Amino acid sequence: MRATLMYAAGDVRVETVPDPKIQAPTDAVVRIVLSCVCGSDLWPYKGLDSAVGPLLMGHEFLGVVEETGSAVTSVKPGEVVLAPFLWCDNTCDFCQEGLHNSCRHGGAWGANGVDGGQGEYTRVPHADGTLVKLPVPEDSDLLPGLLTLSDVLCTGYHAAHSARVQPGDTVAVVGDGAVGQGAVISAKKLGAERIILMGRHSDRTDLGRDFGATDVVAERGAEAVARVRDLTGGDGVAKVLECVGTKDAVITAFGIARNGGTISRVGVPQYAEVPFRFPDYWRNITLTGGIAPARAYIERLMPDVLDGTIDPGRVFDRTVTLDDIADGYRAMNDREALKVLVRP
């Protein structure tokens, strides 16, 4: 089958790799119908050392079950299914606590003999735990929206959920990418009254307004902090959702956080240390969040996608075929596209 490999920064290729086969009774093989390029894929796209590559790419996909191992009971061939961006057993103590990213038997796509999501097929370990059945046909118009449940919508939700966003809250979302959009949608779902979206791309912040942002701050750095403080009577925002992953974004998050507030970070950290100065200790700022346990949230968010309450599929503003995926990476990296759908 064909699959996407990244050899080094900027070097994405589609090549033939072995077809996946059932290896354990708990496996399934899924034919991929829809996948996409993630903002987090851009970090290696910018910096992957050729000595580390090639990497099997892709961790967001939905598709049709082709074959199941003898122990799989929850899905069967022909069914349309979605996978979260990490596979897991969904039964261990960490999964039961909603911490699927720490599943005792889980792992990442594209590593340790498991295929990536940007290909024609993938083997799914712990299929009963990992896969979620989608109640739609494989040509449904809802598939792009449902695909966001594999990562970006659930990651945005994790930011809002970890910050304990409640009805009436004022929330700031740092970053207007697909995860930031998911955070806006999620903050609104959890009842936030005011949602300040911080981003510089008007097409993206316009989309954020459609999703529920009530204010947009296009400034950066100290000017952005001053603007958010102006908008909040000088006090700042009690719940800050950091959806970028750079140190600058974290510094901005500290700058706009209200005393006693929470910064919930879901951007993949491109830094080793977090500024945590004496004044922030005095201010009792909480830092929470982390990688999202997407599997924990899929069933919770899916009804809103199915009934049209939310339309997170709007984050996809370009579609490529698998053969053209390298150009999809380029377009996202050049900020020509917000998020790129891939149809094998």
Residues of the shown chain interacting with its own copies in the complex, contacts defined by CB under 8 A: 94, 97, 99, 101-102, 162, 259-260, 265, 268-269, 271-278, 280-291, 293
Cβ distance to its own copies smaller for residue 41 or 79: 41
CB of 214 to its own copies, least distance (A): 22
Cβ distance to its own copies smaller for residue 22 or 88: 88
Give SS3 for 260: strand
Q: In angstroms, rounded to a whole number, what is the distance separating the alpha carbons of residues 17 and 119?
A: 9
CB of 99 to its own copies, least distance (A): 4
Our measurement of the distance from residue 121's CA atom to the centroid of its chain's CA atoms, rounded to an integer in Å, reads 21
Beta carbons of 41 and 89 less than 8 angstroms apart: no
Cβ distance to its own copies smaller for residue 202 or 259: 259
Token representation of residue 266: 């879901």
Cβ distance to its own copies smaller for residue 167 or 282: 282
CB of 83 to its own copies, least distance (A): 18
CB of 3 to its own copies, least distance (A): 24
Token representation of residue 206: 């316009």
Only one residue has tokens 């996608």, namely 305
Q: How far is CA 68 from CA 31, 218, 301, 344, in A?
A: 12, 49, 26, 21
Cβ distance to its own copies smaller for residue 20 or 236: 236
**Residues in contact with 39: Cβ distance below 8 Å, sequence separation at least 6, in sequence order:** 152, 177, 178, 179, 332, 339
Cβ distance to its own copies smaller for residue 68 or 150: 150
215-253 burial by CB neighbour count: b if 16+ within 10 A, else e? bbbeeeeeebbebbbebbeeebbbbbbbbbbbeebbebb
CB of 215 to its own copies, least distance (A): 21
CB of 172 to its own copies, least distance (A): 18
Beta carbons of 154 and 84 less than 8 angstroms apart: yes
